[in-house]
């Protein structure tokens, strides 16, 4: 878009002002006068420097208009325009960020900044791709211009030919930079950035199964317009190959693809697999890489040089020259929802984005969210199914182990130990899933029942052995392990509930010559550590893998043939309305780690509730039937995906402040028959990190009614007497109501 001339202001009319999105927690835009002597409006989305509350900050120009203030000439002036030629925020991206602000009730200034990389937010110039390749200039015969004795120059011209060749490659072949310099000064060659497709695909795609072919053809036939597609394929059914087929078709059409995965930990494997299959670099966008690498990825996306970008949540805001497809893998995963400010669901934002770009979006999962299933049933999404694994491997057989009355060794039944032993003796791997890290869940007095609790939270402290200490998994408080009960001074204290450390110890004892890989947030501190552990696992022969959720997500473990879910019950009874959906997804995903190559697998689920319908259904391998049963229950109870939900949360160090704030706020909110307000009520863990946490839950038939209440809450909330003594926020579509 080109800059436009501002019309001459009419005499006596109020001056034109610029509307700026300013990063601040205030839910409004701000008016500034244009900079002195500025005759042009920048393009919408251009960065400007302004002074705000006495600080120099970067804002985003949105439009110019007649001021809405009575006395606009007293407004401050914009200091300067950073993006004079073109704006960084492209049109469709600005529309997305405006929608984000309206839908998630995020202050507009904060929403607009999400569309810029960190370096751009600081006002730095745009990253330019290095000109590290050379091509021949058009026209003429360069060899005719170069004298015969300039042998190196002639060699260089021959090597370059019709291609774009990297200067580094030329120097490896004996063409020094001084030779290149002389060719440049003769205007025979010119420098260009590296072309997007710089390598050859290392891996040909496998012969697709009939199902994969059918689904790919169907998807590829619908690439030219917006449509949400749910790709429901059992674990190991080859969803990634289907994504790749579609991605190749989009690239061939000179368009770009955005791929979103829920965890940073999934990016290295996916990146490697995509680069091998596509033959191009796939830049990453996530918080685990340096700011300058991220800036580079943003620039590659914006310039169109990168055909595919892979990232986690925040990548959904990246700008693309020409976006042709979005893929959201593991679309059911709660990590796609940002749980701190700014709160948004990357999956839902991605769907909106696809709609604004008029391109398709593929949501993939073995265990789709109930929302997405409901959208398929309502005809809003198109449903595609992959029901079998290629290479003919069957899904693992699942059996339940009723642990009532059994003597367990560090949480494991004899039957589980036997199966693990068998797998190891066949040179295969065993995977143990347990959702607690540490040695034991809590420390209890055997004489009076006292449990060591956290002073900051309504929670017990977990026991850790290495080094020995007690730790709270909710607020990270650490304490030394007491020798005596604080109530009765007994020294008979013992750990309750098995954690990963204890299981690791048992595995070392039972299988002393076997490698044991523990994967939890204590043992794996970053992506590099995870990647190198995953590499060691795939290089190892027989081995034991044990860990928490980290182990359950998306990774491929072809040698695992035995999976043990150590304790399904501690997930079973939670008052959150999504708890059953989560547990079902988790169990199916963990079970799906087994038997992914050509080896058949076996899954044992240890439980004291073998008759629970949910556990029964998992054993019968029927995710979709079970999901539909849960969906019908939500429908009956009018819980999402039926209707809409919002929450107003308030945290305070004095409990009465949290309650009083919400009480007085609630009195000012419209309570119609359309939107029901429940609360104030305590969250499940009422006290956490020293704060009391209360909430009001809003139910409505559609989002519109819930939005009306929430907008009012934002308006009235900051006017409450207690507003400065509490911290509070609103959230639409909360994923946890605890």
Question: Which DSSP helix (H) or strand (E) runs through 595?
Answer: none
Matching residue, tokens 């199914």: 385
Regarding 393 and contact with ligand ADP (CB under 6 A), the answer is no
**How many Cα neighbours within 13 Å face the side chain of 692?**
17
Pick the stretch among 16-24, 201-209, 544-552, 711-719 that binds ligand ADP (CB under 6 A).
201-209
d(CA 384, CA 243): 12
Q: Using CB under 6 A, pick the residue from 209, 365, 589, 657 that binds ligand ADP.
A: 209
Residue with smaller CB distance to ligand ADP, 100 or 534 = 534
Peptide bond into 680 cis (omega under 30): yes
CB of 243 to ligand ADP, least distance (A): 8
Matching residue, tokens 């609360």: 679
Count of residues near ligand ADP by CB under 6 A: 16
d(CA 477, CA 462): 10
**Chosen from ligand ADP, Zn ion, none, partner binding at 472 (C-beta under 5 to 8 Å by type):** Zn ion
**Structural tokens at position 12:** 């006596």
**Chosen from ligand ADP, Zn ion, none, partner binding at 401 (C-beta under 5 to 8 Å by type):** none
CB of 655 to Zn ion, least distance (A): 16
CB of 597 to ligand ADP, least distance (A): 7
Find out whether 398 and 265 touch, Cβ atoms under 8 Å. no
H helices present in 6-141, as ranges: 91-104, 108-113, 118-121
**Structural tokens at position 187:** 């205007």
Angle (nearest 5°) at CA 99 between 97 and 104: 95
Q: Which of 516, 648, 608, 637 lies closest to 105, judged by CA?
A: 648
Regarding 241 and contact with ligand ADP (CB under 6 A), the answer is yes
Regarding 232 and contact with ligand ADP (CB under 6 A), the answer is no
CB of 391 to ligand ADP, least distance (A): 5
Q: Which of 117, 23, 100 lies closest to 344, judged by CA?
A: 100
Residue with smaller CB distance to ligand ADP, 15 or 390 = 390
Calculated CA dihedral for residues 684, 687, 693, 694, nearest 10 degrees: 60
**How many Cα neighbours within 13 Å face the side chain of 734?**
23
Find out whether 182 and 134 touch, Cβ atoms under 8 Å. no
CB of 43 to ligand ADP, least distance (A): 41
Pairing mode of beta strands 691-700, 676-688: antiparallel
Regarding 9 and contact with ligand ADP (CB under 6 A), the answer is no
Q: Using CB under 6 A, pick the residue from 279, 342, 390, 482 that binds ligand ADP.
A: 390
Residue with smaller CB distance to ligand ADP, 518 or 593 = 593
CB of 390 to ligand ADP, least distance (A): 3
Count of residues near Zn ion by CB under 5 A: 15
**Chosen from ligand ADP, Zn ion, none, partner binding at 129 (C-beta under 5 to 8 Å by type):** none
- Convert residues 429-468 into a mask of x (bound to Zn ion by CB under 5 A) and - (unbound): ----------------x-xx-x---x-xx-----------
Pick the stretch among 20-28, 230-238, 335-343, 489-497 that binds ligand ADP (CB under 6 A).
230-238
d(CA 453, CA 403): 27
CB of 242 to ligand ADP, least distance (A): 8
Q: Using CB under 6 A, pick the residue from 45, 107, 115, 236 that binds ligand ADP.
A: 236
Pick the stretch among 206-214, 370-378, 574-582, 680-688 that binds ligand ADP (CB under 6 A).
206-214
At CB < 8 A and 24+ separation, what contacts does 660-664 make?
660/722, 661/720, 661/722, 661/723, 661/725, 661/726, 661/728, 662/694, 662/695, 662/696, 664/720, 664/721, 664/722
Pick the stretch among 36-44, 234-242, 457-465, 515-523 that binds ligand ADP (CB under 6 A).
234-242
CB of 590 to ligand ADP, least distance (A): 13
Find out whether 452 and 515 touch, Cβ atoms under 8 Å. no
Q: Using CB under 6 A, pick the residue from 153, 235, 312, 548 that binds ligand ADP.
A: 235
Q: Using CB under 6 A, pick the residue from 59, 115, 142, 238 that binds ligand ADP.
A: 238
**How many Cα neighbours within 13 Å face the side chain of 451?**
14
Q: Using CB under 6 A, pick the residue from 118, 303, 481, 556 that binds ligand ADP.
A: 556
Q: Where do contacts with Zn ion occur on this chain (CB under 5 A)?
A: 445, 447-448, 450, 454, 456-457, 472, 474-475, 477, 485, 487-488, 490
Q: Where do contacts with ligand ADP occur on this chain (CB under 6 A)?
A: 206-209, 212, 233, 235-241, 390-391, 556
């Amino acid at each position: 878009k080109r800059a436009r001339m501002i019309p001459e202001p009419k005499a006596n009319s109020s001056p034109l002002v610029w509307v700026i999105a300013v990063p601040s927690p205030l839910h409004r835009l701000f008016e500034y006068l244009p900079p002195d002597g500025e005759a042009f409006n920048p393009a919408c989305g251009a960065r400007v420097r302004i002074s705000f509350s006495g600080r120099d900050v970067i804002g985003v120009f949105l439009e110019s208009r007649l001021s809405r203030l009575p006395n606009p000439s007293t407004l401050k002036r914009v200091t300067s325009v950073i993006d004079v030629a073109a704006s960084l925020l492209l049109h469709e991206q600005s529309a997305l960020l405006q929608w984000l602000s309206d839908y998630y009730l995020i202050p507009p200034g904060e929403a607009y900044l999400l569309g810029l990389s960190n370096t751009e937010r600081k006002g730095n110039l745009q990253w330019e791709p290095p000109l590290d390749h050379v091509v021949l200039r058009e026209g003429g015969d360069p060899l005719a211009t170069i004298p015969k004795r300039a042998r190196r120059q002639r060699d260089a011209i021959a090597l370059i030919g019709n291609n774009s060749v990297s200067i580094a490659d030329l120097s490896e072949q004996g063409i020094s930079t001084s030779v290149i310099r002389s060719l440049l000064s003769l205007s025979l060659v010119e420098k260009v950035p590296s072309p997007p497709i710089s390598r050859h695909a290392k891996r040909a795609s496998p012969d697709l199964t009939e199902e994969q072919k059918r689904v790919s053809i169907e998807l590829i036939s619908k690439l030219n317009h917006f449509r949400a597609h749910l790709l429901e394929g059992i674990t190991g059914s080859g969803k990634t190959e289907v994504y790749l087929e579609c991605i190749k078709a989009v690239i061939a059409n000179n368009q770009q693809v955005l791929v979103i995965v829920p965890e940073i930990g999934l990016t290295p494997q996916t990146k490697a697999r995509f680069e091998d299959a596509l033959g191009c670099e796939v830049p990453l966008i996530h918080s685990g890489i340096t700011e300058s690498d991220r800036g580079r990825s943003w620039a590659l996306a914006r310039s169109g040089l990168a055909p595919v970008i892979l990232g986690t949540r925040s990548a959904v805001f990246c700008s693309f020259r020409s976006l042709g497809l979005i893929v959201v893998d593991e679309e059911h995963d709660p990590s796609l929802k940002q749980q701190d400010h700014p709160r948004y669901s990357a999956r839902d934002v991605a769907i909106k984005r696809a709609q604004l770009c008029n391109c398709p979006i593929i949501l993939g999962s073995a265990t789709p969210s109930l929302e997405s299933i409901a959208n398929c049933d309502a005809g809003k999404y198109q449903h595609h199914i992959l029901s079998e694994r290629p290479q003919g491997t069957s899904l693992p057989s699942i059996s339940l182990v009723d642990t009532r009355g059994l003597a367990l060794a560090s949480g494991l039944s004899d039957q589980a130990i036997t199966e693990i032993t068998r797998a190891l003796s066949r040179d295969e791997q065993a995977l143990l899933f347990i959702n607690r890290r540490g040695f034991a869940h809590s420390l209890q007095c055997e004489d009076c029942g006292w449990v060591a609790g956290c002073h900051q939270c309504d929670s017990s402290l977990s026991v850790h052995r290495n080094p020995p200490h007690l730790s709270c998994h909710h607020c990270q408080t650490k304490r030394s392990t007491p020798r005596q009960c604080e109530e009765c001074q007994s020294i008979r204290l013992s750990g309750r509930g098995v954690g990963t450390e204890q299981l690791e110890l048992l595995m070392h004892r039972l299988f002393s010559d076997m490698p044991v890989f523990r994967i939890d947030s204590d043992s794996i501190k970053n992506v590099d550590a995870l990647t190198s552990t995953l590499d060691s696992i795939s290089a190892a022969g027989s081995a034991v893998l044990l860990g928490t959720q980290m182990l359950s997500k998306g990774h491929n473990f072809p040698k695992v043939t035995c999976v043990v879910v150590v304790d399904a019950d501690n997930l079973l009874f939670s008052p959150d309305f999504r708890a059953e959906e989560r547990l079902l997804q988790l169990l199916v995903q963990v079970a799906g780690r087994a038997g992914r190559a050509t080896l058949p697998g076996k899954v044992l689920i240890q439980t004291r509730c073998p008759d629970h319908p949910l556990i029964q259904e998992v054993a019968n391998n029927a995710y979709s039937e079970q999901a539909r049963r849960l969906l019908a229950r939500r429908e009956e109870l009018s819980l999402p995906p039926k209707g809409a939900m919002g929450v107003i949360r308030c945290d305070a160090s004095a409990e009465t402040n949290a309650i009083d704030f919400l009480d007085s706020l609630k009195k000012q909110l419209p309570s119609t028959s359309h939107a029901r307000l429940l609360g104030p009520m305590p969250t499940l863990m009422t006290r956490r990190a020293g704060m009391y946490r209360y909430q009001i839950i809003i139910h409505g038939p559609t989002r519109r009614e819930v939005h009306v209440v929430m907008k009012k809450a934002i308006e009235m909330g900051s006017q409450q007497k207690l507003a400065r003594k509490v911290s509070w926020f609103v959230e639409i579509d909360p994923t946890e109501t605890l």
